[in-house]
């Protein structure tokens, strides 16, 4: 039997492309998961590994869908080879339990791990550069501009939080947070 495994790292990502490719390849059962590859506790993947029998084929679109580091990838695929399960990686081909097949597997997994590490390094370098900017703020960008918030805080002088929220669309929690930030800056003399 042909089993497919589709995985993306975040809930916001989409599995459609992977599923389409796995169906095109003739997978009868497809397990899908929105789970980071860094975590070893992937419930659907564990279920798939338990379901696989001798002479089954596991199909994935890319090798990094199975594992994010060389050691884990080798362990997973070797355990599949021990169960006489074939592993077909669509962008690579069929991985076989031969000396050349295992060499090819180790090389591919090492490259996948290196790519992932380079992405992490570049992200960290970008963060270091961003932190040097005067207006740097960690996290998600603010929804409202400084002018909008200042206007809403001015309105608070003669209106209730609920009224200001209705007029500006800025919720009470945000108004309280920004008001506290402004008061803290004023007391430190940084304004």
Catalytic amino acids? 9
Question: What is the Cβ-side half-sphere exposure of residue 50, based on CA atoms within 13 angstroms?
Answer: 6
Tokens of 108: 């591919």
Query: What is the Cα–Cα distance from 66 to 45, expressed in whole angstroms?
Result: 8
β-bridge pairing 2-8 and 93-95: unpaired
Phi then psi for residue 58, to 5 deg, are -100, 125
Phi then psi for residue 68, to 5 deg, are -105, -5
Decide: residue 156, CB within 10 A, 0-12 exposed, 13-18 middle, 19+ buried: middle
């Amino acid at each position: 039997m042909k089993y497919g495994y589709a995985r993306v790292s975040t809930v916001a990502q989409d599995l459609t492309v992977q599923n389409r490719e796995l169906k095109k390849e003739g997978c009868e059962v497809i397990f899908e998961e929105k789970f980071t590859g860094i975590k070893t506790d992937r419930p659907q993947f564990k279920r798939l590994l338990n379901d696989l029998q001798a002479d089954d084929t596991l199909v994935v679109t890319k090798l990094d869908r199975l594992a994010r580091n060389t050691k884990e990838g080798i362990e997973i695929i070797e355990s599949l080879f021990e169960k006489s399960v074939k592993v077909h990686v669509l962008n690579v081909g069929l991985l076989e339990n031969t000396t050349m097949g295992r060499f090819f597997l180790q090389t591919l997994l090492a490259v996948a791990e290196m790519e992932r590490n380079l992405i992490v390094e570049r992200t960290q370098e970008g963060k270091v550069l961003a932190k040097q900017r005067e207006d740097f703020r960690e996290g998600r960008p603010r929804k409202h501009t400084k002018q909008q918030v200042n206007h809403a805080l001015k309105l608070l002088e003669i209106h209730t939080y609920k009224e200001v929220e209705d007029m500006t669309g800025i919720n009470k929690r945000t108004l309280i947070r920004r008001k506290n930030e402004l008061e803290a800056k004023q007391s430190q003399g940084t304004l």
